[in-house]
C-alpha cells in the first residue's frame, strides 16, 4: 500500500528582490511513486526541493514526514529522514576512488563503515544497472553517466527513502537516461519515492506516476501520469506561450563560400594527458550552422575550448576568418567577434558573484579605460526583454537567479556579442522548451541575417536536427561527416554516436 511519506503543506518562500519563488504550495510524496515536477524556468522547482533537502528554509508552511511535523535545517538532517538529492553536478572528489568517495560520505551517518562492503555494494548495483563501475577506479576517469550513477548508488547506500533528482538526468545521453529510469522504477517498486525535475515532458509522461506542475511559484495542478496529454501539460506549464513550441526544422541558411571557422587535422590533449581530439578537420561557412552530435565526453569540450582559445592545440591549425589563430589565446579570438557558449557555463560563461551588467561589461567593454555603463545597461535591458530573463534588475547579482535564468544570461550575451562566429556548446541545457526554442531561433536568426558562422555542439539530437544546415558526429575524439540533415537518418547518426 502506498501512503504519503512526505507532505509539504502550504510552503511559501520569498527571495531578495521580492521574488515570490513559492506561494502556498502543497504537495505530498507517496511511497512507491515517481513524481515529476515540471514548470518553466524560474517556476520554483529547485526552490521546493531545496527546502525539502534543508538547503533553504521556508518562510511559511510545514513539512510532515510520516505524519510527524519536522524541521529540516540542513542536508544532513534531510538525509537522516531518508531524503537525498542528486543534482546536475556530481559532488564527487576527483582524485579519490569511487569507494573512497562513498565511504567518506557515509562515515557521518554510520551506515556502512567498511570500505569493503561499500565496494561490494557498488559492484553489485552498477552491475545490475548495466554500466559497470570499478569501485577502485579514480573518479576523474569516470564518464559523466558513471558519476551520476555513483551519486544514485550513494543515495541507496544512505538508505534513501526519497531521492530528489533536480535535472540530474539533463545531461545524460538518451540510452543511459532510460537505464536510469529503469533503476529508479526498481527503487520505487521497493517502496522508495523519486521526485524528478526535467524539461523533457515526454520523458516525464513516460516515467512518472504523477506529474505536479508549478507556474510562477504556484501549484497549477497534479495529474496522473497515465492520463496526461503532452499538450495539456505544456499549456499548464507555459500558458499561452505553449503555442510557440515546435520541433520542426528551422529555416535553412544560404551559406556563403568563405569558411569562417576552419580546423585542419586538429589534435588536442585532454585534462589527463589523453588524446581527446584526434585529427579533426571541419569547415563552417559564413551564415551556416554546423551541428556536431555526440555523447558527452567524446572530445567536444576540448574541441570547443580550443576553438575559443582556452585550450592548447598539440597539432593542426585553427583558422578564423582565414586568419591562423592556433594557440594565440582567447583575446585574439574574442576580438575577432567570436561568441562562445561554454560547456561549463558556470566556470567560463559567467561570474555569479557579479551583476548582470558587470558580466556584460567584462565581455563588451574592452577598448577604453572607462566603462560606458549606459551602453552596457542598454544591452542588458534589451537582452532581459528579448529573452524574458527573470531578474529583479540588471544590477542584480547573477547568483540570485534560477539555473535557467543564469543560462539565459550567458547565452544571450554571447549570441548578441558575436559578429563573425559563434561557438555554442549545449546552448539550451537547463532551459525549458519555450526558452530553448527561442534560443535556437535567435541563433539561426544571427546566422541567416548577419552571416554569423555557427558551430553548434549538442548532446540533444532534436536540437542538432532542428537548427543545423550540416551535421557531424563526434565519437572518441574523431569527427564523422558532414551529412546533410535531410539525408542523414537519425538511426544512422545515433549508431555513429555509440559505436
Partner 1 sequence: MRFIVVRRTKPHPYIKPLIIALSLITGMGLVAILLTLIGAHPFAILVTIAYSFTTPQVVKDMLLLTMLGCALLISFKGAVWNVGAEGQLYTAIIPIVWITLYVAPWSAGSPPHQPILIILASITAAAVFGAMWGAVAGALRAYVGIDEVPVTLIMNYVAYYVVNILVLGPFRGRYVYGYIRTDDLPDAYKLGINVVMQRTGNAFLDGFLEFIRVVVYYAYWVLAAALVALLTWVVFNHTTIGLRIKILGSNPEFLRAVGVDVRKTTVMALALSGLLVGVASAIYYLGDLTRLTYPIQAQTAGYGYLAILVVWLSMLELPLIPLSAYIVSSLRNAGRNMQIFGLGGLESTLVLLGSVLLTYSALRFLTEYEVRVVK
Residue numbers at the binding site for partner 1 (CB under 8 A): 13-16, 55-57, 71, 73, 308-310, 329-335, 340, 342, 347-354, 358-359, 361-363, 365-366, 368-371, 373
Q: How far apart are the C-alpha atoms of 329 and 331, rounded to whole Å?
A: 6
Q: Identify which of residues 294 and 403 has a Cβ nearer to Mg ion in the complex.
A: 403
Nearer to Mg ion, 163 or 307 (CB): 163
Question: Which DSSP letter does residue 427 get?
Answer: T
- SS3 string, 265-325, reads EEEEECCCCCEEEEEEEEEEECCCEEEEECCCCCCHHHHHHHHHCCCCCCEEEEEECCEEC
330 contact choice in Mg ion, ligand ADP, partner 1, none (CB below 5 to 8 Å, kind-dependent): partner 1
Q: Determine the Cα–Cα distance for residues 411 and 339; give it in Å rounded to an integer.
A: 9
CA distance 19 to 47: 12
Look-up of cell digits 551517518: 109
Cell triple for 95: 582524485
> How many Å apart are CA 353 and CA 350, to the nearest integer?
9
If one asks whether residue 103 binds ligand ADP (CB under 6 A), the answer comes out as: no
- Distance between CA 497 and CA 475 in Å, rounded? 6
Distance set, CA 4 to CA 38, 67, 162, 190 (Å):
20, 8, 11, 15
Within residues 353-392, the interface with ligand ADP by CB under 6 A covers 390
Binding partner selected for residue 363 from Mg ion, partner 1, ligand ADP, none, CB under the kind-specific 5 to 8 Å limit: partner 1
Enumerate binding residues for Mg ion (CB under 5 A). Answer: 46, 403
Q: How far is the CB of 439 from ligand ADP (least distance, A)?
A: 15
* Residue in 28, 35, 41, 480 binding ligand ADP, rule: CB under 6 A: 41
Instruction: Print the binding letters for residues 45-74 with ligand ADP: x by CB under 6 A, - otherwise.
Output: xxx---------------------------
User: If binding is defined by CB under 6 A, does position 15 make contact with ligand ADP?
Assistant: yes
In whole angstroms, the minimum distance from the beta carbon of 332 to partner 1 comes to: 8
Query: Angle at which helices 174-189 and 144-157 pack, to 10 degrees?
Result: 10
Give all strands of the β-sheet with 34-38 in edge-to-edge order: 83-86, 162-166, 193-197, 34-38, 210-215, 218-224
| Closer residue to partner 1 (CB): 413 or 446 | 413
Q: How far is the CB of 89 from Mg ion (least distance, A)?
A: 12
**Residue 37 Cβ vs ligand ADP, minimum distance, rounded to whole Å:** 8
Query: Is 401 a residue that touches ligand ADP (CB under 6 A)?
Result: yes
C-alpha 479/C-alpha 20 separation (Å) is 47
Residue whose CB is less far from Mg ion, 165 or 383: 165
Residues at the interface with ligand ADP (CB under 6 A) = 15-16, 19, 21, 39, 41-47, 390, 400-405
Amino acid at each position: 500500500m502506498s501512503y504519503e511519506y512526505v507532505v509539504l503543506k502550504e510552503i511559501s518562500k520569498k527571495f531578495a528582490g521580492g521574488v515570490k519563488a513559492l506561494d502556498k504550495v502543497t504537495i505530498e510524496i507517496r511511497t512507491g511513486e515517481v513524481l515529476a515536477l515540471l514548470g518553466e524556468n524560474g517556476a520554483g522547482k529547485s526552490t521546493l526541493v531545496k527546502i525539502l533537502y534543508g538547503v533553504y528554509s521556508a518562510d511559511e508552511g510545514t513539512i510532515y514526514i510520516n505524519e510527524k511535523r519536522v524541521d529540516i535545517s540542513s542536508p544532513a538532517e534531510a538525509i537522516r529522514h531518508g531524503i537525498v538529492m542528486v543534482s546536475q553536478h556530481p559532488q564527487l572528489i576527483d582524485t579519490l576512488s569511487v569507494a573512497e568517495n562513498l565511504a567518506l560520505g557515509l562515515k557521518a551517518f554510520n551506515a556502512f563503515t567498511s570500505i569493503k562492503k561499500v565496494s561490494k555494494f557498488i559492484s553489485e548495483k552498477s552491475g545490475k544497472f548495466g554500466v559497470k563501475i570499478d569501485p577502485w577506479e579514480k573518479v576523474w576517469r569516470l564518464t559523466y553517466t558513471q558519476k551520476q550513477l555513483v551519486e544514485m548508488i550513494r543515495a541507496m547506500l544512505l538508505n534513501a527513502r526519497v531521492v530528489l533528482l533536480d535535472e540530474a538526468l539533463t545531461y545524460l545521453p538518451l540510452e543511459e537516461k532510460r537505464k536510469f529510469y529503469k533503476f529508479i522504477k526498481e527503487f520505487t517498486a521497493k517502496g522508495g519515492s523519486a521526485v524528478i525535475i526535467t524539461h523533457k515532458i515526454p520523458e516525464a509522461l513516460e516515467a512518472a506516476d504523477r506529474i505536479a506542475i508549478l507556474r510562477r511559484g504556484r501549484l497549477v495542478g497534479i495529474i496522473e501520469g497515465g492520463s496526461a496529454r503532452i499538450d495539456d501539460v505544456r499549456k499548464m506549464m507555459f500558458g499561452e506561450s505553449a503555442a510557440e513550441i515546435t520541433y520542426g526544422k528551422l529555416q535553412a541558411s544560404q551559406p556563403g563560400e568563405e569558411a569562417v571557422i576552419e580546423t585542419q587535422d586538429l589534435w588536442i590533449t585532454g585534462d589527463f594527458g589523453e588524446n581527446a581530439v584526434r585529427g579533426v578537420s571541419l569547415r563552417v561557412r559564413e551564415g551556416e550552422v554546423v551541428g556536431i552530435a555526440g555523447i558527452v565526453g567524446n572530445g567536444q569540450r576540448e574541441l570547443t575550448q580550443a576553438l575559443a582559445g582556452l585550450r592548447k592545440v598539440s597539432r593542426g591549425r585553427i583558422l578564423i576568418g582565414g586568419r591562423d589563430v592556433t594557440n594565440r589565446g582567447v583575446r585574439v579570438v574574442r576580438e575577432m567577434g567570436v561568441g562562445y557558449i561554454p560547456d561549463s557555463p558556470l566556470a567560463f560563461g559567467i561570474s555569479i558573484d557579479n551583476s548582470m551588467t558587470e558580466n556584460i561589461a567584462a565581455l563588451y567593454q574592452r577598448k577604453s579605460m572607462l566603462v560606458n555603463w549606459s551602453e552596457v545597461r542598454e544591452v542588458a535591458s534589451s537582452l532581459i526583454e528579448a529573452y524574458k530573463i527573470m531578474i529583479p534588475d540588471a544590477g542584480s547579482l547573477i547568483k540570485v537567479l534560477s539555473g535557467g535564468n543564469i543560462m539565459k544570461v550567458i547565452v544571450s550575451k554571447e549570441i548578441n556579442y558575436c559578429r563573425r562566429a559563434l561557438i555554442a556548446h549545449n546552448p539550451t541545457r537547463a532551459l525549458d522548451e519555450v526558452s530553448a526554442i527561442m534560443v535556437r531561433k535567435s541563433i539561426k536568426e544571427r546566422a541567416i541575417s548577419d552571416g554569423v558562422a555557427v558551430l553548434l555542439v549538442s548532446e540533444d539530437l532534436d536540437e542538432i536536427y532542428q537548427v543545423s544546415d550540416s551535421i557531424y558526429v563526434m565519437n572518441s575524439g574523431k569527427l564523422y561527416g558532414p551529412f546533410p540533415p535531410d539525408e542523414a537518418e537519425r538511426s544512422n547518426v545515433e549508431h555513429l554516436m555509440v559505436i
